[in-house]
Structure 1
Amino acid sequence: MAKTKSRAKKKTTSASEKEYIVVDEAAGLIFDSETDLYGYFQSAIDKLETEYQSLRSPDDYNDEEQIALEHYLEATLDEPDEVWMDDKTFEEFPVYHFLKNIDQGDEAFKYVAVAYVSSEDEYPTFVFIHFPTKDSRLWQNYQRGEMAYDKNFETVAEGAIEGDALGEGDPLAMGLYLAMLKVRGEKDIPQDKFPEFAALREETIESADEIWRKNDLDGNVLVSFIKEFPDHENVKDLAYIAVTQEDEDSNVHSLLFSFPTTDRTLVDRYRQGENLQADEVSQESAH
């Protein structure tokens, strides 16, 4: 069974020394007691609990297993991988869905928490339900509304360059870029230095040494432009790579991301598929 939890702050008035529970002072959600607090949110708790139980799989974690994993709640709220703002479930207030990927030994699952977030300091002050789940159908139900936070985007934002899809949070661009970060050499150019090489992007696309086209497993047509820049600003063995997505109907290219590298093995990873001559590729357009 999914559980509730209050993370509301306690506040004492100087006049009476009485302690109040403050969920969202700006919204007037200040309560005399835990009983009043839970009473106010009870209908919302019931609705969310009913929804959860209707989707819960018999093969997912049982109640006893959930109790053993509930210590992941705090990490889910404080360091989530995703947060979704849902303003459709309740008319009175939006709720926020916090999701975190957990790796525990050989077991991987997600921890989900549905919470009220204070409008004053964006702090989750009341948790309606929280639970671990191995069921993708269940946790995907809580990826609804508007994405308010994406840890992956924070990871990739440093390497984004104006005009590419990476900077817009495009899922395909982020996925491919994160995969690149995982396999690149430890001594390669640091990600925070990528913008310093941004001027090489246009030259790479305009006059590439090599152009490679391949289809990924999802049917996306990816075209990689590779250009060598020997001893560019004293960086030995520098190559610049721009990855685009090709529209099969129009042959127009959308720029996904680009990056500099001195890792020859990494460059080889982009030499996959069909080797094209530069004049066979139509002019690219920014995303």
Structure 2
Amino acid sequence: MRPRSTRSYTYILTSRPEPSVALITLNRPKALNALSSALMTELNQALGEADTSKEVGAIVITGSQTAFAAGADIKEMKDLEFSTAYSTDFIADWARLTQIKKPIIAAVSGYALGGGCELAMMCDIIIASPTAVFGQPEIKLGTIPGSGGTQRLARVIGKSKAMEIVLTGRTFSAAEAEKWGLVSKITSEEEGAVVTESVKMAKQISEYGALAVKAGKELVNAAYELSLQEGIRLERRVFHSLFSTGDQKEGASIQLQEFLRFIFFLGMRAFAEKRKSQFKGE
């Protein structure tokens, strides 16, 4: 897959492998895609553009076959003092990814360590190749994860396992990540398969109603912040609100036709038009 680039950046590549899918590739090969402030600034810009684009329905972030992102840029941090880090709220803007409304899929191959693991966890879905290696090795450098690693790991894989990963700094495989629920699926070993599979899923998501997709993402994320009762109440209210959208009426109409065709095998003209739902995001 060699999609056409849509804009030129220094540390990332952007493309549209499908008209409705934005693909962002981290591009610091000599540094194993280590995350620098400059790279993250470009990533935030590209994500913002994709989020506001009427054509894009879902986003994929990937790296190289060797490394999704092997960590944060240590050279950038090694001489940093507390006063500077605190006064500038260092790396706070890295979490802007979590404010993107459209679904983001991390296509992970090779190393996803430290900030790279945190970046993948900030995405909505992680698809991994068998070569993917995850970890939070910051403890070996005399520090801890700083972009949500301790919090997101604990919420997904549980306290005991998160403690082990954070306090020993050991890496874990794609198979372990899938077993623990951190990874959605593992692709074949074929080169590029993880990006192909991620784009395929992103395209599928982008074909559904944009408002429903946005609401689904918002509600799943809310499950980590609200009590069960509060979450269900919010879910029901958002569910109710979608009945005011044209997409819901379109989807319901097409599905009803398919249901009746399946049940009664009708050949009436009213059910003769076989087509996909034409969602308009309204």
Q: TM-score, normalised by structure 2?
A: 0.20
Q: Which has the higher helix share?
A: 2
Name which one, 1 or 2, has greater alpha-carbon Rg: 1
